[in-house]
Amino acid sequence: MKRFFKPIEKEGSAKKPSLSPSKNGAENGDALPEVDVKKEPLKFLTWNANSLLLRVKSNWPEFSNFVSNLDPDVIAIQEVRMPAAGSKGAPKKPGELKDDTSPSREEKQILMRALSSPPFGNYHVWWSLADTKYAGTALLVKKCLRPLKVSFSLDGTVSKHEPDGRVILAEFETLRILNTYAPNNGWKDEENSFQRRRKWDKRLLEFVVQSSDKPLIWCGDLNVSHEDIDVSHPEFFSAAKMNGYVPPNKEDCGQPGFTLAERKRFGAILKEGRLVDAYRYLHKEKDMECGFSWSGNPIGKYRGKRMRIDYFIVSEKLKERVAECEIHGKGIELEGFYGSDHCPVSLQLSEGCKEDK
């Protein structure tokens, strides 16, 4: 979620923890090492890292321990905030990390070293990156799993990446996994605010309707809180304004991610795509301690103000297999957030029937 209240930390150099270059993907035609192959992932993790490099420098031991204990098959990361490869003025390569300058080589080395250390060395990694340190996504898949295809746009084109690296789509034998970082709605009816988000939601709706041939798990920072139960203080978020500005359309008023217009569109995506919010499917009641995935700055007016904007959305045909869906952070002091303003969210599926495989 866009941070409109919190200054961005300085990303200086540090002697800390690289992943083997992201040419680890089946879509690149690389030979993968021999391992016992599983057909279907069952455990998933999503996390908006709010700069993966900063997390590596500051919070990696704790996050690594968390991942080791959870042992997910797939890890979806948003807000990687690492620039795509390509020198100034040249075409970018959004599937690769920038390393054509001394600072970028150092940052890539720090990140790659962290991602090649336990437990992350057990995963193949795919990137979709912006031109600058903005947005971007990553998908880590255990080496015992072999995606049939990995693509980076909502139209399924392997070589094409969405602007700002907001999509990674992995297809397995029995299901698809969609990792997205939805653009923030912003505060005004401008090209990079309301209009951009409307176009995004329209394309997501088209995608889920057209992709019903195989069960879908859609995860990531979706930048929307669907119902009042999904925010800590509905009245606060409904009345939120930026510099006193009030949009002419009442449905666009309020906190980005909690405007009525966004919530209605999200509801339409779920309905038309025959999708289920996995967390809310299992957790019917509001949980003021552990029920939100994003938390405001502990200092200032957003202290204690929290939203659930990170999701696992599954096809209706998968809902009976949803065994667990948990939010792993709690409290207004950001326990379990590992330095980000978002905490990890996990999903566990039960084994499918043999005929489903």
Cβ count within 10 A of residue 132: 14
With CA atoms as reference, report the closest residue to 302 among 9, 78, 4.
4
pLDDT level of residue 353 (50, 70, 90 thresholds) = low
Q: Is the pLDDT of residue 165 over 70?
A: yes
Domain presence at residue 193? yes
Average pLDDT over residues 10-27: 42
**DSSP line for 82-118:** -PEE--TTSPPEEEEE--SSHHHHHHHHHHHHHHHST
Q: Which of 37-41, 137-141, 148-152 has the lowest mean pLDDT?
A: 37-41
Residues with Cβ within 8 Å of residue 243, at least 6 apart in sequence: none
Closest CA to 306 of 280, 338, 343, 279: 343
Q: Which of 99, 164, 221, 230 is catalytic?
A: 221
Indicate whether 48 belongs to any domain: yes
User: How far is Cα 3 from Cα 54, in angstroms, rounded to an integer?
Assistant: 15
The answer to whether the annotation marks 24 as part of a ligand binding site is no
Instruction: Look at residue 24 and tell me if it is in a domain.
Output: no
One-letter amino acid identity for 240? A
Q: Average pLDDT, stretch 339-356?
A: 87
Average pLDDT over residues 106-131: 98
Mean pLDDT of 11-28: 42
Rounded mean pLDDT of the chain? 90
pLDDT recorded at residue 357? 46
Q: Work out the average pLDDT over 145-168.
A: 92
d(C-alpha 46, C-alpha 38), whole Å: 20
Please determine, for residue 2, whether its predicted confidence score (pLDDT) is greater than 70: no
User: What average pLDDT does the segment 139-165 reach?
Assistant: 93
Q: Is the pLDDT of residue 201 over 50?
A: yes
Please tell me whether 73 is known to bind a ligand.
no
> Does position 3 have pLDDT exceeding 50, yes or no?
no
The arithmetic mean of pLDDT across residues 329-344, rounded, is: 95
Look at 14-23, 48-57, 195-204, 314-323 and tell me which has the smallest mean pLDDT: 14-23
This prediction's pTM: 0.89
Residue among 73, 99, 164, 181 flagged as catalytic: 181
Lowest mean pLDDT among 10-19, 93-102, 124-133: 10-19
Q: How far apart are CA 84 and CA 164, in angstroms?
A: 10
User: What pLDDT is attached to residue 9?
Assistant: 45
Q: For 23-32, how does the pLDDT look when each residue is reduced to its tens digit (9 = 90+)?
A: 444 444 444 5
- The pLDDT of 172-200, averaged and rounded, is 94
Catalytic residue, chosen from 124, 226, 328, 342, is 342
Mean of pLDDT values over 41-47: 98
Catalytic residue flag (residue 342): yes
- Whether residue 48 is annotated as binding a ligand: the answer is yes
- 275 is in which domain, residue-wise? 43-349
Judge whether 223 is annotated as a binding position.
yes
The CB density around residue 51, as the number of other CB atoms within 10 Å, is 21
| pLDDT confidence of residue 297 | 87
In a domain, 3, yes or no: no
Residue 1: per-residue pLDDT: 54
Q: Is 184 annotated as a binding residue?
A: no
pLDDT at 354: 57
Give me the pLDDT at residue 25, please. Answer: 42
Is 71 assigned a ligand-binding role in the annotation?
Answer: no
Here the CATH number for the domain that contains residue 330 is: 3.60.10.10
Task: Confirm whether 38 is domain-assigned.
Answer: no
Question: What pLDDT is attached to residue 14?
Answer: 44
Q: Above pLDDT 70, what percent of the chain?
A: 89
In the chain, the number of structural domains is 1
Q: What is the pLDDT of residue 339?
A: 97
Q: How confident is the model at residue 90 (pLDDT cuts 50, 70, 90)?
A: confident
Confidence at residue 83, expressed as pLDDT on a 0 to 100 scale: 97
- Domain membership of residue 26 (yes or no) is no
Write out pLDDT tens, residues 237-279.
999 999 888 998 999 999 999 999 999 999 999 999 999 999 9
DSSP assignment of 189-206: SSTTTHHHHHHHHHHHHH
Q: Average pLDDT, stretch 306-315?
A: 98
